[in-house]
Amino acid sequence: MLQPLAVALPVGYIVAALLHGMAFGGTRAPHVTRERVWVLRLTLAAHMLWFWALAETLQSFPVVDIASTVSAVVLVSALMYGLLARSVKHAGSGGVVLGLAALLQLSASAFVNLHPLPRLAAPTAPLGPTQIVHVSLSVVATASLLLSGVHGTLYLVLFRLMKRRNFGPVFEHLPDLDLLARLTRGAALVGFLCLTIGMNLGIYLAHSEQRPGFNYRETEVVLSILTWLYFGVIAFSKRIPGFTARRASMAAAVGLSVLLLSTFLLFFPRLAFHSNL
Amino acid sequence: MDSKVSLALIGLSHRTAPLGTRERYVVSQSDLPEVLRALKQVEGIEEVCVISTCNRTEVLVIGRKGTDLPAHVRAQLFRNLPDEQVYAYEDVHALIHLFRVAAGLDSVVIGESEILGQMKRGMEAALAGGTLGSVLKPLMQQALHVGKRVRSETEVGQGTLSVARVGIDMAERVFGRFGSVRVLIAGAGETGVLVARHLKEKGVADLVFTNRTLERAAQAAAEFGGRAFALTELPALTQKSDLLVACIEAEHPTIDVDCFDARSLRRRDRPLLVIDLSVPRAVAPEVAKLDNLILYDLDVLQEVVQKNLAERNEATDSTASILVGELHKFLALRTYASFSPAIAQMRERFEKARDEVLDHVAGAKSSPETVRLAHELTKKQLDIALDSMKQGARHTRSEESLSDEYRRFLENL
């Protein structure tokens, strides 16, 4: 089941992204509200099933290597997007969020380790509850930052369209500027809070279990601290004089680019986090 | 339709009669009961409903088959009018026309939704006057349903066609909700007041008026619960506003780059949206170049109106399938309803046959179990027979033939 689902998941996200993005096709685009909701629900259900099957196969918490972490980020960001779209009653950013999710899942499915004896991914001992919370919070934080970056980018796109008086389907179907600004900062705040707890738990774990390989100059640790600081500034930017919604959006968009680049260039080639531990 | 009755729709509209004629034939809400009563008394008319707006006066009647309904209605309501100004549709064409009217496809502004309210009022008046019956009541209800479906499932009712409203739609794309939006209206004339009214409906709480004469600004502010300032204070006011609507009458732009503080504009969280509804322009075009400011003038808004209008016209094609589907549904229901005497007769015969068989086979010794079984069996058989009749009713008029009819109707418009 793992292999077919690994192939099916990116397809599911691609179809969901296409259905969500259909509104941008203008007046001639078919109305697919019900279909897009169901495709997303089915894809999310399949994704959860995949993680359950992976956990069964590995006999451990299924987020063990870079690929499965990226996949978990995809699942959480798609879930968070679904909840957000429901609460704000607007699905305008779905095409982009799910498009990015599809791209990430495609990479995750290509690299994920589906074997009971992982190459080097799974830690020798199964993860304890604190470690699971640390990993889960890091995943939620990354998903939030991803959403913050996407909404920030969309803010910039919409602002540009407004300034240039380009009132096409993209202008019509994106959420309003205020909402995009709120989503950018709100998602950054969730990410910041999760990262605060997740990072502290990680530091606590490193010290309490006296892991000899741990040091603060490790790439993951340095990047996490920088990300934490960066998105913290975005989350509280409304209180910083001169840090306008547009600047916050620009910062979130840059943050997203860095996050994606670091995932693809730094982490994917290494297969696992904290591999020196 | 029922084979014993026929349906006709007789009327005049903006397509056939000039405004002067339409005005003379408007049936006011107060006159409606009297007109309905008079029409109901006409020989052969069984049910009647009148839809009257400034653009159309139409009479929908159900009468005995063979009655010349259009002639009777014309004689009663549209006397002395030239033939080309009055139209009459019968049976399926009357249904098509009614559904098109409800869908806003026959309106001056395609897709406008006021017609639904006007039809509803016509229906309520006919209900109150007792002139709606078993055919027209479900028909009017279905027409209203068609109107709502077309507007929700197609683009026909989408897109605003008033420049002031388009301006507010634009503001909605920036701010979403208006509760926390600080609005400054420059010019408290007719347009300014109209915009204020629209914005108030949208939930704007913080409304500031500025005008050359402070008195007028104060009047408007009092009407909408806002604050009033002289036009000279505009530069200071722009710093505390999120939306500036300019409706100023002046030969040259009154609001130029100097009215805005570029530094504070760059530092504000939300962009400042400036909507210029003035003719000629009250806001200098260079203002659009300022950072964190979005400017829309009348030309831009007019373009949006034209685009919306074109989209509505384009969307009319996509309404055909909805209209034909609903037409098919209505006709099937009517055909099935016309079977009711036969159904009652059939039920009676089934039950009589069941009782005879029960008497013949078991007589007085029939157990409650046997009786229940016989009742269940009869009910099942009757359900099967009724289901076949329903299927038959559905196939009396195929959707394809109605589609052709719809095409022919459009060709004759």
pLDDT tens column, B17-63: 988 888 889 998 889 999 999 999 998 899 999 999 888 999 999 99
Higher-confidence residue of B254 and B367: namely B254
pLDDT tens-digit readout, A68-81: 889 999 999 999 99
pLDDT tens-digit readout, B114-161: 899 999 999 999 999 999 998 999 999 999 999 999 988 888 877 777
**Interfacial residues of A (vs B; Cβ cutoff 8 Å):** 27, 31, 158-159, 162-163, 165, 167, 171, 175-179, 181, 238, 241-242, 244-246
Average pLDDT over residues B299-310: 86
Residues 6+ apart with CB under 8 A from A236: A189
What pLDDT shows up at residue A272? 56
Q: Which residues of B are catalytic?
A: 54
pLDDT tens-digit readout, B91-108: 999 999 999 999 999 988
Query: The tokens of A59 are what?
Result: 């006999």
What pLDDT shows up at residue A243? 93
Question: Which chain A residues touch B271 with a CB distance below 8 Å?
Answer: 159, 162, 177, 246
What pLDDT shows up at residue B158? 78
- Give A35's Cβ-side CA count (13 Å radius): 13
Query: The tokens of A231 are what?
Result: 């998105």
Nearest to B406 by CA among B96, B98, B103: B96
Residue B109 — very low, low, confident or very high, per pLDDT cuts 50/70/90? confident
Q: How far apart are CA B168 and CA B365, in angstroms?
A: 81
Give the CA angle between residues B210, B304, B188 to the nearest 5°.
15
Q: Is a pLDDT exceeding 50 seen at residue A121?
A: no
What pLDDT shows up at residue A111? 78
User: Are the C-beta atoms of B257 and B287 separated by less than 8 Å?
Assistant: yes
pLDDT tens-digit readout, A127-178: 788 889 999 999 999 999 999 999 999 999 999 999 999 988 899 889 999 9
The alpha carbons of chain A give a radius of gyration, in whole angstroms, of: 19
Pairing of strands B243-246, B206-211: unpaired
For the beta sheet containing B227-230, the strands, ordered from the edge strand earlier in sequence to the opposite edge, are B227-230, B206-211, B182-186, B243-246, B272-276, B293-297
Q: What percent of chain A has pLDDT over 70?
A: 87
Q: Is a pLDDT exceeding 80 seen at residue A212?
A: no
In the numeric block, the tokens 């026959």 are attached to B106
Nearest to B266 by CA among A236, A158, A162, A244: A244
Q: Is the bond preceding residue B280 a cis peptide, omega within 30 degrees?
A: yes
Average pLDDT over residues B325-352: 85
Please state the φ and ψ torsions of residue B189, each to the nearest 5 degrees.
-80, -160
Average pLDDT over residues B261-271: 92
Query: The tokens of A267 are what?
Result: 């982490």
Pairing of strands B243-246, B182-186: parallel
Kindly write down the DSSP assignment for every residue of A168-233, as one continuous string. Answer: SHHHHHSPPHHHHHHHHHHHHHHHHHHHHHHHHHHHHHHHHTT-TT--TTSHHHHHHHHHHHHHHH
User: Are the C-beta atoms of B282 and B187 separated by less than 8 Å?
Assistant: yes
Q: How far is CA B244 from CA B195, B197, B199, B236, in A?
A: 11, 15, 12, 12
Q: What percent of chain A has pLDDT over 90?
A: 54
Nearest to A242 among B267, B300, B315 (CB): B267
Q: How far apart are CA B242 and CA A31, in angstroms?
A: 34
Residue B305 — very low, low, confident or very high, per pLDDT cuts 50/70/90? confident
Nearest to A244 among B288, B292, B315 (CB): B292
Cβ of B271 within 8 Å of Cβ of A246? The answer is yes
Q: Is a pLDDT exceeding 70 seen at residue B386?
A: yes
Choose from A120-124, B233-237, B386-390 the range with maximum mean pLDDT: B233-237
Average pLDDT over residues A249-253: 97
What pLDDT shows up at residue B92? 92
Cβ of B176 within 8 Å of Cβ of A178? The answer is yes
B267 touches chain A (CB under 8 A): yes
Q: Quick one: DSSP state of residue B237?
A: H
Q: How far apart are CA B244 and CA B209, in angstroms?
A: 10
Choose from A194-208, B66-80, B218-232 the range with maximum mean pLDDT: B218-232
B269 touches chain A (CB under 8 A): yes
Cβ of B174 within 8 Å of Cβ of A176? The answer is yes
Count of C-beta atoms within a 10 Å radius of residue A11: 15
Average pLDDT over residues B372-388: 87
Q: Is a pLDDT exceeding 70 seen at residue B3?
A: no
* Adjacent-strand bridge partners of B273: B243, B294
Question: How far off is chain A from B158, nearest CA to CA, in Å?
Answer: 10
Q: Quick one: DSSP state of residue B412?
A: T
Higher-confidence residue of A130 and B313: namely A130
Helix (H) or strand (E) holding B282: none
Cβ of A179 within 8 Å of Cβ of B176? The answer is yes
Q: How far apart are CA A61 and CA A64, in angstroms?
A: 7
Burial (CB count <10 Å: 0-12, 13-18, 19+), residue B262: middle
Helix (H) or strand (E) holding B142: helix B136-153
Q: Is a pLDDT exceeding 60 seen at residue A277?
A: no
B258 touches chain A (CB under 8 A): no
Nearest to B111 by CA among B406, B324, B309: B309
Query: The tokens of B337 are what?
Result: 């309803």
- Give B169's Cβ-side CA count (13 Å radius): 19
Q: Is a pLDDT exceeding 70 seen at residue B295?
A: yes
For the beta sheet containing B56-64, the strands, ordered from the edge strand earlier in sequence to the opposite edge, are B45-52, B56-64, B5-13, B87-90
What pLDDT shows up at residue A120? 45
Higher-confidence residue of A152 and B392: namely A152
User: Are the C-beta atoms of B17 and B101 separated by less than 8 Å?
Assistant: no
Residue type, B394: R
Higher-confidence residue of B413 and B232: namely B232
In the numeric block, the tokens 């806001």 are attached to B283
Q: How far apart are CA B15 and CA B152, in angstroms?
A: 26
The alpha carbons of chain B give a radius of gyration, in whole angstroms, of: 31
Q: How far is CA B112 from CA A114, B115, B158, in A?
A: 58, 7, 9
Q: What is the mean pLDDT of chain A?
A: 86
Helix (H) or strand (E) holding A257: helix A245-261
What pLDDT shows up at residue B136? 94
Q: What is the mean pLDDT of chain B?
A: 89
